[in-house]
Amino acid sequence: MLAVDVGNSNVTIGAFEGDRLIATWRFATDARRTADEHNLLLQGMLQSKGVDPSDFPSAVMCSVVPPLTGAIETALQDMLGTEPMVVGRGTRTGIKVNYNRPQDVGTDRIADAVAAYRLYGGPCIVVDIGTATVFDAISGNAEYLGGAIAPGMTLAAEALYRGTSQLRRVDLQAPDNAIGRNTTDAMRSGLVFGYVGLVEGMVKRFANELSPDDPASCKVIGTGGLARVVAAQSGVLQDVNEDLTLIGLRMLHELNSGE
């Protein structure tokens, strides 16, 4: 089975044999690409690792980029000869979505929540550190309770560059000290250590709300492209699972197809 996560910055594909993830690919999100272009791109990427698209009889996808959803859905259908499952309203999740407007929750967040609860149990907190830094809370009774959304490190770095006259672009690498002795290290400190502090502070607040009597019982799982940057500077993330969304998509496909 193929799982496809259409994100704001990247499209990530995972190939599964049963419940085992055997390969992943990633390419930049570009809403200008047509279904035909995505078809060629997907086939080329799979074949680059010796994976034959015809070996996969089904696919599941989630998307937070509505202009791309239809194009990638069509590309998958043309490539595989079968209509992919698109996570959305009506998808069975195995968890209760306790949100004011359940349809407003990003389907990638639901996939993360499903995978986190089934892999780690609850109560748990998922911290997805990518284009945005997203926190999600799942109770011990399999309830998705909501979360918080903050700008991601890359967005913050770009805002510093574009919104000022003298600050340059920097890579997201932790400096040796929090007190930067040059502008580059000062920016790196604010971005990396600042976001570590954000994650630590939000996780503490979430844990106190999720489990007031025993906040330490909350599992904290990091995912997203920059999760390991935070994990390298803090023990707040008990585990980092960069494939959490893909695994959640596989679980949702399994739940909805009866496999």
Task: Return the beta strands (E) in 57-203 as ranges.
Answer: 59-63, 85-86, 96-97, 124-129, 132-138, 143-151
CA angle 149, 88, 97 (to 5 degrees): 60
Give, for 72, the enclosing helix (H) or strand (E): helix 66-80
| 214 assigned to active site | no
Distance of alpha carbon 38 from alpha carbon 79, whole angstroms: 10
Cα separation of 88 and 107, whole Å?
A: 6
Q: How far apart are CA 61 and CA 92, in angstroms?
A: 14
Catalytic residue among 55, 104, 108, 214: 108
Please state, in angstroms and rounded to a whole number, the distance separating the CA atoms of residues 125 and 56: 32
Rounded-to-integer distance, Cα 182 and Cα 186, Å: 6
The residues that are catalytic are 108
